[in-house]
Structure 1
Amino acid sequence: MPSQKILSEKQAYVEALKAKLDSSVAGVVVDYKGISVANDTKLRRALREANVEYAVVKNTMLRLALEGKGYTELEKTLEGTTAIAISHEDPLVAAKILCKYAEESKGAFTVKAGYMDGAEMSAAEVEAIAKLPGKQELLSMLCSALQGNIRGLAVALNAIAEKSEEVA
Protein backbone atom coordinates (compact mmCIF):
# COMPACT_ATOMS: atom_id res chain seq x y z
CA MET A 1 0.00 0.00 0.00
CA PRO A 2 1.39 3.44 -0.92
CA SER A 3 2.43 5.83 1.79
CA GLN A 4 0.17 8.71 2.76
CA LYS A 5 2.59 11.20 1.19
CA ILE A 6 2.57 9.46 -2.20
CA LEU A 7 -1.21 9.06 -2.07
CA SER A 8 -1.72 12.76 -1.33
CA GLU A 9 0.66 13.71 -4.19
CA LYS A 10 -1.31 11.55 -6.60
CA GLN A 11 -4.60 13.03 -5.41
CA ALA A 12 -3.21 16.54 -5.90
CA TYR A 13 -2.02 15.59 -9.41
CA VAL A 14 -5.49 14.24 -10.31
CA GLU A 15 -7.16 17.40 -8.96
CA ALA A 16 -4.79 19.61 -10.97
CA LEU A 17 -5.50 17.55 -14.08
CA LYS A 18 -9.26 17.85 -13.44
CA ALA A 19 -8.90 21.63 -13.15
CA LYS A 20 -7.01 21.78 -16.45
CA LEU A 21 -9.66 19.66 -18.17
CA ASP A 22 -12.47 21.81 -16.75
CA SER A 23 -10.87 25.06 -17.92
CA SER A 24 -10.06 23.77 -21.40
CA VAL A 25 -12.08 24.18 -24.59
CA ALA A 26 -10.65 21.07 -26.24
CA GLY A 27 -8.23 18.23 -25.79
CA VAL A 28 -6.73 15.38 -27.77
CA VAL A 29 -5.49 12.06 -26.39
CA VAL A 30 -2.69 10.39 -28.36
CA ASP A 31 -0.57 7.25 -28.37
CA TYR A 32 3.01 8.51 -28.61
CA LYS A 33 4.73 5.12 -28.84
CA GLY A 34 7.52 4.97 -31.38
CA ILE A 35 8.50 8.61 -31.76
CA SER A 36 12.08 9.78 -31.44
CA VAL A 37 13.28 12.33 -28.92
CA ALA A 38 14.03 14.83 -31.70
CA ASN A 39 10.53 14.49 -33.15
CA ASP A 40 8.96 14.70 -29.68
CA THR A 41 10.90 17.90 -29.01
CA LYS A 42 9.74 19.36 -32.32
CA LEU A 43 6.12 18.43 -31.53
CA ARG A 44 6.28 19.90 -28.03
CA ARG A 45 7.75 23.14 -29.39
CA ALA A 46 4.92 23.49 -31.94
CA LEU A 47 2.30 22.84 -29.26
CA ARG A 48 3.94 25.26 -26.81
CA GLU A 49 4.01 28.02 -29.46
CA ALA A 50 0.27 27.45 -30.00
CA ASN A 51 -0.41 27.72 -26.23
CA VAL A 52 -1.37 24.06 -25.92
CA GLU A 53 -0.40 22.07 -22.82
CA TYR A 54 1.02 18.65 -23.69
CA ALA A 55 1.92 16.00 -21.15
CA VAL A 56 2.46 12.29 -20.91
CA VAL A 57 -0.03 10.93 -18.37
CA LYS A 58 -0.68 7.64 -16.68
CA ASN A 59 -3.90 6.06 -17.87
CA THR A 60 -5.18 5.59 -14.32
CA MET A 61 -4.59 9.23 -13.43
CA LEU A 62 -6.36 10.49 -16.55
CA ARG A 63 -9.21 8.03 -15.98
CA LEU A 64 -9.65 9.40 -12.44
CA ALA A 65 -9.54 13.00 -13.72
CA LEU A 66 -12.20 12.19 -16.35
CA GLU A 67 -14.47 10.55 -13.79
CA GLY A 68 -17.93 12.09 -13.73
CA LYS A 69 -17.46 14.06 -16.96
CA GLY A 70 -19.34 11.55 -19.13
CA TYR A 71 -16.42 10.78 -21.44
CA THR A 72 -17.01 7.01 -21.51
CA GLU A 73 -15.66 6.46 -25.03
CA LEU A 74 -12.57 8.52 -24.24
CA GLU A 75 -11.96 6.44 -21.11
CA LYS A 76 -12.06 3.26 -23.22
CA THR A 77 -9.04 4.46 -25.23
CA LEU A 78 -6.82 4.77 -22.16
CA GLU A 79 -4.52 1.84 -22.83
CA GLY A 80 -0.84 1.73 -23.72
CA THR A 81 1.20 4.91 -23.91
CA THR A 82 -0.92 8.01 -23.47
CA ALA A 83 -0.34 11.73 -23.75
CA ILE A 84 -2.87 14.54 -23.72
CA ALA A 85 -2.83 17.94 -25.38
CA ILE A 86 -5.10 20.50 -23.72
CA SER A 87 -6.08 23.75 -25.40
CA HIS A 88 -7.51 26.62 -23.36
CA GLU A 89 -8.07 29.09 -26.22
CA ASP A 90 -8.43 27.72 -29.75
CA PRO A 91 -10.42 24.45 -29.93
CA LEU A 92 -8.89 23.39 -33.26
CA VAL A 93 -5.19 24.04 -32.80
CA ALA A 94 -4.30 20.91 -30.79
CA ALA A 95 -6.14 18.65 -33.25
CA LYS A 96 -4.47 20.35 -36.23
CA ILE A 97 -0.93 20.02 -34.88
CA LEU A 98 -1.31 16.45 -33.60
CA CYS A 99 -3.10 15.13 -36.70
CA LYS A 100 -0.48 16.70 -38.96
CA TYR A 101 2.25 15.12 -36.88
CA ALA A 102 0.46 11.73 -36.85
CA GLU A 103 0.21 11.86 -40.65
CA GLU A 104 3.92 12.65 -40.97
CA SER A 105 4.98 9.90 -38.54
CA LYS A 106 3.17 7.17 -40.54
CA GLY A 107 1.83 5.07 -37.68
CA ALA A 108 4.40 5.66 -34.96
CA PHE A 109 2.16 8.30 -33.40
CA THR A 110 -1.64 8.00 -33.42
CA VAL A 111 -4.61 10.03 -32.26
CA LYS A 112 -6.81 8.00 -29.90
CA ALA A 113 -9.73 10.37 -29.20
CA GLY A 114 -10.56 13.87 -28.04
CA TYR A 115 -13.14 16.23 -26.67
CA MET A 116 -14.40 19.70 -27.51
CA ASP A 117 -16.83 21.91 -25.61
CA GLY A 118 -17.96 19.06 -23.37
CA ALA A 119 -18.53 16.52 -26.16
CA GLU A 120 -16.21 13.61 -26.76
CA MET A 121 -14.91 12.79 -30.23
CA SER A 122 -13.55 9.65 -31.84
CA ALA A 123 -10.19 9.65 -33.61
CA ALA A 124 -11.96 10.05 -36.97
CA GLU A 125 -13.89 13.07 -35.67
CA VAL A 126 -10.68 14.65 -34.35
CA GLU A 127 -9.09 14.19 -37.79
CA ALA A 128 -12.15 15.76 -39.45
CA ILE A 129 -12.00 18.73 -37.07
CA ALA A 130 -8.29 19.14 -37.85
CA LYS A 131 -9.10 19.70 -41.51
CA LEU A 132 -11.37 22.68 -40.77
CA PRO A 133 -9.93 26.17 -41.22
CA GLY A 134 -8.68 27.79 -38.02
CA LYS A 135 -9.81 31.03 -36.43
CA GLN A 136 -7.20 33.16 -38.21
CA GLU A 137 -7.98 31.55 -41.57
CA LEU A 138 -11.72 32.17 -41.09
CA LEU A 139 -11.09 35.81 -40.14
CA SER A 140 -8.96 36.36 -43.23
CA MET A 141 -11.67 34.76 -45.39
CA LEU A 142 -14.26 37.10 -43.86
CA CYS A 143 -12.07 40.16 -44.40
CA SER A 144 -11.44 39.14 -47.97
CA ALA A 145 -15.15 38.68 -48.64
CA LEU A 146 -16.01 42.03 -47.05
CA GLN A 147 -13.21 43.82 -48.86
CA GLY A 148 -14.32 42.35 -52.20
CA ASN A 149 -17.87 43.66 -51.77
CA ILE A 150 -16.69 47.11 -50.76
CA ARG A 151 -14.24 47.21 -53.67
CA GLY A 152 -17.04 46.22 -56.07
CA LEU A 153 -19.24 49.00 -54.71
CA ALA A 154 -16.42 51.55 -55.09
CA VAL A 155 -15.82 50.49 -58.71
CA ALA A 156 -19.55 50.75 -59.50
CA LEU A 157 -19.84 54.20 -57.90
CA ASN A 158 -16.75 55.36 -59.78
CA ALA A 159 -18.22 54.13 -63.07
CA ILE A 160 -21.47 55.99 -62.37
CA ALA A 161 -19.53 59.17 -61.54
CA GLU A 162 -17.49 58.93 -64.75
CA LYS A 163 -20.61 58.32 -66.82
CA SER A 164 -22.38 61.33 -65.33
CA GLU A 165 -19.31 63.50 -66.07
CA GLU A 166 -19.40 62.35 -69.71
CA VAL A 167 -23.08 63.27 -70.00
CA ALA A 168 -22.51 66.72 -68.47
Structure 2
Amino acid sequence: MNKEIIKQKQQLVQEIRDKISNAKSVVLVDYRGLNVDEVNELRRKYSEAGVEYKIYKNTMMRFAFKEEGYEEFTNYLTGPNGIAISNEDPVVAAKVTNDFAKEHDNLELKAGIVEGDMLGLEKIIDLANLPSKEQLLTQLAVGLNAPISKLARGIQAIVDKENGSGEASTEE
Protein backbone atom coordinates (compact mmCIF):
# COMPACT_ATOMS: atom_id res chain seq x y z
CA MET A 1 0.00 0.00 0.00
CA ASN A 2 1.19 3.48 -0.81
CA LYS A 3 2.87 5.27 2.13
CA GLU A 4 0.78 8.38 1.49
CA ILE A 5 -2.46 6.38 1.77
CA ILE A 6 -1.26 4.77 4.99
CA LYS A 7 -0.40 8.20 6.39
CA GLN A 8 -3.87 9.52 5.47
CA LYS A 9 -5.54 6.57 7.16
CA GLN A 10 -3.43 7.02 10.29
CA GLN A 11 -4.41 10.70 10.39
CA LEU A 12 -8.08 9.74 10.03
CA VAL A 13 -7.81 7.21 12.87
CA GLN A 14 -6.14 9.89 15.00
CA GLU A 15 -8.94 12.35 14.15
CA ILE A 16 -11.54 9.81 15.29
CA ARG A 17 -9.54 9.07 18.46
CA ASP A 18 -9.37 12.78 19.28
CA LYS A 19 -13.13 13.14 18.85
CA ILE A 20 -13.81 10.09 21.03
CA SER A 21 -11.41 11.07 23.79
CA ASN A 22 -12.73 14.66 24.00
CA ALA A 23 -16.41 13.70 23.84
CA LYS A 24 -18.87 13.65 26.74
CA SER A 25 -20.78 11.07 24.72
CA VAL A 26 -20.61 9.13 21.48
CA VAL A 27 -23.67 7.40 20.07
CA LEU A 28 -23.41 4.81 17.31
CA VAL A 29 -26.31 4.73 14.86
CA ASP A 30 -27.27 2.60 11.89
CA TYR A 31 -28.69 4.97 9.29
CA ARG A 32 -29.47 2.27 6.71
CA GLY A 33 -32.75 2.97 4.97
CA LEU A 34 -32.86 6.72 5.56
CA ASN A 35 -33.27 8.75 2.40
CA VAL A 36 -31.20 11.86 1.67
CA ASP A 37 -33.84 14.25 3.04
CA GLU A 38 -34.08 12.27 6.28
CA VAL A 39 -30.30 12.20 6.70
CA ASN A 40 -30.18 15.95 6.13
CA GLU A 41 -32.96 16.45 8.69
CA LEU A 42 -31.06 14.30 11.19
CA ARG A 43 -27.87 16.28 10.59
CA ARG A 44 -29.80 19.53 11.11
CA LYS A 45 -31.28 18.29 14.40
CA TYR A 46 -27.83 17.23 15.59
CA SER A 47 -26.36 20.56 14.57
CA GLU A 48 -29.09 22.52 16.39
CA ALA A 49 -28.35 20.49 19.52
CA GLY A 50 -24.59 21.07 19.28
CA VAL A 51 -23.87 17.47 18.30
CA GLU A 52 -21.41 16.53 15.57
CA TYR A 53 -22.50 13.71 13.26
CA LYS A 54 -19.86 11.92 11.21
CA ILE A 55 -19.72 8.85 9.04
CA TYR A 56 -16.43 6.98 8.91
CA LYS A 57 -15.47 3.60 7.54
CA ASN A 58 -15.96 0.89 10.14
CA THR A 59 -12.34 -0.18 9.73
CA MET A 60 -11.09 3.28 10.70
CA MET A 61 -13.50 3.47 13.64
CA ARG A 62 -12.49 -0.03 14.74
CA PHE A 63 -8.83 1.04 14.99
CA ALA A 64 -9.73 4.26 16.81
CA PHE A 65 -12.05 2.63 19.35
CA LYS A 66 -9.53 -0.15 20.05
CA GLU A 67 -6.73 2.36 20.55
CA GLU A 68 -8.94 4.34 22.95
CA GLY A 69 -9.63 1.19 25.00
CA TYR A 70 -13.14 0.44 23.75
CA GLU A 71 -12.46 -2.90 22.10
CA GLU A 72 -15.91 -4.24 23.06
CA PHE A 73 -17.48 -1.30 21.23
CA THR A 74 -16.07 -2.61 17.94
CA ASN A 75 -18.57 -5.50 18.10
CA TYR A 76 -21.27 -2.97 17.14
CA LEU A 77 -19.39 -1.82 14.03
CA THR A 78 -21.29 -3.82 11.45
CA GLY A 79 -23.23 -2.39 8.56
CA PRO A 80 -23.44 1.32 7.81
CA ASN A 81 -22.72 3.40 10.90
CA GLY A 82 -22.58 7.02 11.87
CA ILE A 83 -21.45 8.48 15.15
CA ALA A 84 -23.05 11.36 16.99
CA ILE A 85 -20.54 13.15 19.19
CA SER A 86 -21.41 15.56 21.98
CA ASN A 87 -18.68 17.56 23.68
CA GLU A 88 -21.00 19.46 26.04
CA ASP A 89 -24.01 17.49 27.26
CA PRO A 90 -23.63 13.72 27.79
CA VAL A 91 -27.34 13.08 27.15
CA VAL A 92 -28.14 15.21 24.10
CA ALA A 93 -26.69 12.94 21.37
CA ALA A 94 -28.67 9.96 22.65
CA LYS A 95 -31.82 12.06 23.11
CA VAL A 96 -31.75 13.56 19.58
CA THR A 97 -31.05 10.15 18.06
CA ASN A 98 -33.75 8.40 20.06
CA ASP A 99 -36.34 11.09 19.31
CA PHE A 100 -35.53 10.94 15.59
CA ALA A 101 -35.67 7.12 15.63
CA LYS A 102 -39.19 7.27 17.10
CA GLU A 103 -40.33 9.16 13.99
CA HIS A 104 -38.13 7.28 11.49
CA ASP A 105 -38.13 3.51 11.86
CA ASN A 106 -35.06 3.15 9.64
CA LEU A 107 -32.73 4.87 12.12
CA GLU A 108 -31.42 2.51 14.76
CA LEU A 109 -29.50 3.28 17.93
CA LYS A 110 -26.82 0.67 18.48
CA ALA A 111 -24.67 1.63 21.46
CA GLY A 112 -22.88 4.52 23.08
CA ILE A 113 -20.07 5.75 25.24
CA VAL A 114 -21.01 8.24 27.91
CA GLU A 115 -18.30 9.90 29.97
CA GLY A 116 -16.00 6.93 29.40
CA ASP A 117 -18.54 4.18 30.09
CA MET A 118 -19.71 1.94 27.27
CA LEU A 119 -23.49 1.51 27.16
CA GLY A 120 -25.48 -1.05 25.23
CA LEU A 121 -28.74 -0.32 23.42
CA GLU A 122 -31.03 -0.61 26.46
CA LYS A 123 -28.94 1.71 28.65
CA ILE A 124 -28.45 4.28 25.90
CA ILE A 125 -32.23 4.40 25.35
CA ASP A 126 -32.76 4.80 29.12
CA LEU A 127 -30.31 7.68 29.05
CA ALA A 128 -32.10 9.23 26.07
CA ASN A 129 -35.39 9.14 27.96
CA LEU A 130 -34.04 11.13 30.91
CA PRO A 131 -35.25 14.71 31.21
CA SER A 132 -32.91 17.31 29.73
CA LYS A 133 -30.45 19.19 31.91
CA GLU A 134 -32.68 22.28 31.76
CA GLN A 135 -35.73 20.25 32.82
CA LEU A 136 -33.81 18.72 35.73
CA LEU A 137 -32.58 22.15 36.85
CA THR A 138 -36.14 23.50 36.67
CA GLN A 139 -37.41 20.57 38.73
CA LEU A 140 -34.64 21.19 41.26
CA ALA A 141 -35.45 24.91 41.47
CA VAL A 142 -39.16 24.18 41.96
CA GLY A 143 -38.32 21.59 44.60
CA LEU A 144 -36.06 23.99 46.46
CA ASN A 145 -38.52 26.86 46.13
CA ALA A 146 -41.47 25.00 47.68
CA PRO A 147 -40.13 24.82 51.29
CA ILE A 148 -38.94 28.43 51.12
CA SER A 149 -42.37 29.56 49.90
CA LYS A 150 -44.08 27.64 52.72
CA LEU A 151 -41.73 29.21 55.26
CA ALA A 152 -42.40 32.70 53.88
CA ARG A 153 -46.18 32.13 53.99
CA GLY A 154 -45.89 30.83 57.56
CA ILE A 155 -43.91 33.87 58.69
CA GLN A 156 -46.37 36.17 56.92
CA ALA A 157 -49.27 34.43 58.67
CA ILE A 158 -47.58 34.96 62.05
CA VAL A 159 -46.94 38.63 61.26
CA ASP A 160 -50.54 39.09 60.06
CA LYS A 161 -51.86 37.41 63.20
CA GLU A 162 -49.72 39.56 65.48
CA ASN A 163 -50.71 42.72 63.62
CA GLY A 164 -54.34 41.69 63.70
CA SER A 165 -54.34 41.03 67.48
CA GLY A 166 -52.38 44.23 68.18
CA GLU A 167 -54.94 46.30 66.26
CA ALA A 168 -57.84 44.63 68.01
CA SER A 169 -56.42 45.40 71.46
CA THR A 170 -55.88 49.10 70.67
CA GLU A 171 -59.50 49.51 69.59
CA GLU A 172 -60.85 48.20 72.89
TM-score (norm: length of structure 1): 0.94
Task: Please state whether the residue corresponding to 2:119 is helix, strand or coil.
Answer: strand
Task: Please state whether the residue corresponding to 2:78 is helix, strand or coil.
Answer: coil
Corresponding position of 1:112: 110
Segment of structure 1 superposing worse, 74-83 or 145-154: 145-154
Corresponding position of 2:170: none
Taking the aligned partners of 2:104 and 2:48, their CA distance within structure 1 comes to 20
Q: Could you tell me which runs of 5 or more consecutive residues in structure 2 were left unpaired when the two chains were aligned.
A: 167-172
For residues 39-84 of structure 1, the C-alpha deviation after alignment (integer angstroms, 9 at most, x for no partner) is: 1111111111111110111100000111133323311010110100
Aligned length: 166
Residue 73 of structure 1 pairs with residue 72 of structure 2: yes
Corresponding position of 1:134: 132
Task: Please state whether the residue corresponding to 2:113 is helix, strand or coil.
Answer: strand
Q: Could you tell me whether the CA contact under 8 Å between 2:17 and 2:68 is conserved in 1?
A: no
Corresponding position of 1:34: 33
Corresponding position of 1:9: 8
Task: Please state whether the residue corresponding to 1:90 is helix, strand or coil.
Answer: coil
Shift, 1:153, TM fit: 1.4
Corresponding position of 1:55: 54
Corresponding position of 2:91: 92
Taking the aligned partners of 2:73 and 2:126, their CA distance within structure 1 comes to 17
Taking the aligned partners of 2:20 and 2:67, their CA distance within structure 1 comes to 12
Q: Which has the larger radius of gyration?
A: 2
Q: Could you tell me whether the CA contact under 8 Å between 2:25 and 2:113 is conserved in 1?
A: yes
Shift, 1:16, TM fit: 1.0
Q: 1:49 to 1:140 in 2, by over 3 A?
A: same
TM-score (norm: length of structure 2): 0.92
Taking the aligned partners of 1:100 and 1:30, their CA distance within structure 2 comes to 13
Task: Please state whether the residue corresponding to 1:67 is helix, strand or coil.
Answer: helix
- Name the Cα RMSD after superposition: 1.1
Shift, 1:149, TM fit: 2.0
For residues 86-136 of structure 1, the C-alpha deviation after alignment (integer angstroms, 9 at most, x for no partner) is: 111100000000011112112x11011111111101011100110111211
Q: Could you tell me whether the CA contact under 8 Å between 2:17 and 2:67 is conserved in 1?
A: no
Corresponding position of 2:42: 43
% of aligned pairs identical?
A: 37
Q: Could you tell me which runs of 5 or more consecutive residues in structure 1 were left unpaired when the two chains were aligned.
A: none
Taking the aligned partners of 1:54 and 1:66, their CA distance within structure 2 comes to 16
